[in-house]
Amino acid sequence: MSVIVLAALAGACAVEGERSADSQPNGEIDEVRIALGTLGNESLDPMLSPGENAPYLWLMFDPLVGVSRDGTEPDPSAGVLSDWEISDDALTITLRVGGEATFHDGAPVTAEDVAFSLERLFDDEALAANVGLVQDVIGDPNNIKVIDEETVELHLVKPGVSLLNILPYGSADMLVVPKHYIEEVGVEEFRRNPIGSGPYKFVEQQVGTSITLERVDEHQALGTPRARKVTISLVPEETTRIALLQTGDVDVIDPGIESAVNLEAEGYNLHQKGLPDWGGIKFPMTPLDVPPLNDVRVREALALAINKEAINEFLFFELGELSGNYISEGAAGYEPLPPIPYDPERAKALLEEAGYPDGFEIALESFPKSGWSTTDIADAIAADWAAIGVTAQISNRDYGAYRADWVGGNLEPVTATLHPISGRYNFQGLLGALVSGGSLPAIGDPEYTELMEAVQSSESVEEFNERLAAVDAFIRNGFHMIPMVQMGTTLVTNDVVQDWAFGRSAHELNIRYFLYEVE
């Protein structure tokens, strides 16, 4: 009987496995199915959304400022704002609404909606990624003024060039929500059945499983999307996502680096994000006034001892690029700096000069980053340091536990951390750590403080970028951190998705531009 039952079960499992999408590039597509390892907290409200929610939110809502098709430049025609400017003293930002955008219920997007969307970021519930920066620079929701149907003025409490920078590259925080709809149905209903002005309308959400969206007939900036439906599924296990791609059940996945390379070898398409993530060493117990890390020669020795090329070759499969910068290529303030070379002999000489001929012990912390084999990278670094006499005690744990100790000052005094950072967090992390009283320990060097204060008081975008580049150079030349590799997030697709520029925002996948890729 049990054999019969098994046979019946097997017989019930006719698997379709056929792609529902037309594989012709640039043609109409019935459905694009995307499987990701995380969908953040799955909130449908931009205000409550961390960066990981961006893939679906940026389809449902429009940003204040859109980006070009390859995601590298702001594009006034692709967002809600047609124009924006900052006053000479950088204390007033004027935003002008384009007037073309409409919400999914037909109502036009106006200055009231823009102001309302920004005011919400002052709510106690707000969790969006740039909330801290917005609150710090604008100061009070009353400083957001609607001048007329198309114009909003932001009266800032601090120079706001940094705010200009995140307008096109923010995560969920820079998305525009419908004031009239939220006031009419209430915020809870909005969070269950949201409407936006984006190229896709919300259809259905199965919490913990998937979100389904369908296209609008015509989007004011982007025209008619070529995929009728988009389903974004939450599949936490990487091997399962890969299996779904291999059976044709999904079209897009985000695997780890090694898996991505293997899938490319099998004939799938590998894509990398334009704004790379940063991989390097941080010295978290700042200020760096505890021996031996207080000696720049020691920090330089640790930097020179790491064979970054080998790490990029064997652990990043040459998908990364060696870099001397903390700020990611393509981000504000980026001016290329030469990578720190590999020179273990010079490293040993520096240690001897600094009074550590026999080396010393150091704690090496690492925590998981999706797609990266951080334990292997930590092992490689420890082995390189061992070659110059520095003994690293490796501790691999999850980020939450590590961060609690870091913020609480409970790490070992002599600690290095393998600290991958999403490309978005570069200057914002530096700012948050110091200027806005952020929760991360600041670097603590008076010269660094002065440089960051100069960044914050910048009165023009050019000045802002120049001063940020100076901070980057200070970090690299003083070895306050050790930049190693920059690598864009990898996505793998089947032939439904062939050409795809992921853009620059750390979490947003620029799906809207894949969906409009027509010649």
Binding residues for other proteins, rule: CB under 8 A, are: 1-2, 5-6, 9-10, 12-15, 17, 41-43, 48, 50-51, 124-125, 127, 129-133, 135-136, 206-209, 233-237, 239-240, 243-244, 246-247, 249, 398-401, 403-404, 407, 425, 428-429, 431-433, 436-440
Instruction: Spell out the SS3 assignment of 259-294.
Output: HHHHHHHCCCEEEECCCCEEEEEECCCCCCCCCCCC
Assigned token pair, 222: 């982007």
Task: Tell the smallest beta-carbon distance from residue 132 to other proteins (Å).
Answer: 5
CA distance 78 to 95: 15
Judged by beta carbon, residue 455 or residue 515, the one nearer other proteins is 455
**10: exposed, middle or buried (Cβ count in 10 Å: 0-12, 13-18, 19+):** exposed
Judged by beta carbon, residue 6 or residue 387, the one nearer other proteins is 6
Judged by beta carbon, residue 117 or residue 210, the one nearer other proteins is 210
CA distance 375 to 316: 13
Task: Tell the smallest beta-carbon distance from residue 44 to other proteins (Å).
Answer: 10
- What are the C-alpha distances in Å from 459 to residues 144, 435, 456? 20, 16, 9
Parallel, antiparallel, or unpaired for β 321-322 and 252-253?
unpaired
> Could you tell me if 432 and 133 are in contact, meaning their C-beta atoms sit under 8 angstroms apart?
yes
Torsion region of 139: left, alpha or beta (phi above 0 gives left; psi -120 to 50 gives alpha):
left
Assigned token pair, 186: 């209430």
Judged by beta carbon, residue 216 or residue 471, the one nearer other proteins is 471
Judged by beta carbon, residue 121 or residue 382, the one nearer other proteins is 121
Judged by beta carbon, residue 127 or residue 164, the one nearer other proteins is 127
159 half-sphere exposure, CB direction, 13 A CA radius: 18
Task: Tell the smallest beta-carbon distance from residue 365 to other proteins (Å).
Answer: 14
Task: Tell the smallest beta-carbon distance from residue 206 to other proteins (Å).
Answer: 7
Task: Tell the smallest beta-carbon distance from residue 353 to other proteins (Å).
Answer: 35
Read off φ and ψ for residue 434, nearest 5 degrees. -120, -60
Amino acid at residue number 3: V
Of 421, 331, 325, 324, give the one whose Cα is nearest residue 372.
421
Task: Tell the smallest beta-carbon distance from residue 389 to other proteins (Å).
Answer: 33
Judged by beta carbon, residue 42 or residue 251, the one nearer other proteins is 42
Task: Tell the smallest beta-carbon distance from residue 223 to other proteins (Å).
Answer: 32
Task: Tell the smallest beta-carbon distance from residue 48 to other proteins (Å).
Answer: 6
Task: Tell the smallest beta-carbon distance from residue 119 to other proteins (Å).
Answer: 16
Assigned token pair, 384: 């390189």
In sequence order, the β-bridge partners of residue 213 are 202, 230
DSSP 60-105: HS-BSSEE-TTSSSEEGGGSSEEEEEE-TTS-EEEEEE-S--B-TT
Judged by beta carbon, residue 207 or residue 387, the one nearer other proteins is 207
Quote the DSSP letter at residue 34: E
Angle between helices 425-434 and 446-456 (to 10 degrees): 110
Judged by beta carbon, residue 239 or residue 477, the one nearer other proteins is 239
Judged by beta carbon, residue 301 or residue 332, the one nearer other proteins is 332
In sequence order, the β-bridge partners of residue 277 are 487
Task: Tell the smallest beta-carbon distance from residue 196 to other proteins (Å).
Answer: 19
Task: Tell the smallest beta-carbon distance from residue 427 to other proteins (Å).
Answer: 10
Judged by beta carbon, residue 244 or residue 461, the one nearer other proteins is 244
Task: Tell the smallest beta-carbon distance from residue 177 to other proteins (Å).
Answer: 16
CA distance 477 to 434: 20
Angle between helices 131-138 and 425-434 (to 10 degrees): 60
Query: CA 232: distance to chain centroid?
Result: 18
Of 322, 304, 327, 283, give the one whose Cα is nearest residue 484.
322
Q: Where are the beta strands (DSSP E) in 356-432?
A: 361-366, 391-396, 415-418
Judged by beta carbon, residue 292 or residue 483, the one nearer other proteins is 483
CA distance 470 to 269: 38
Look-up: residue for tokens 């909330």? 131
Task: Tell the smallest beta-carbon distance from residue 420 to other proteins (Å).
Answer: 12
Judged by beta carbon, residue 174 or residue 431, the one nearer other proteins is 431
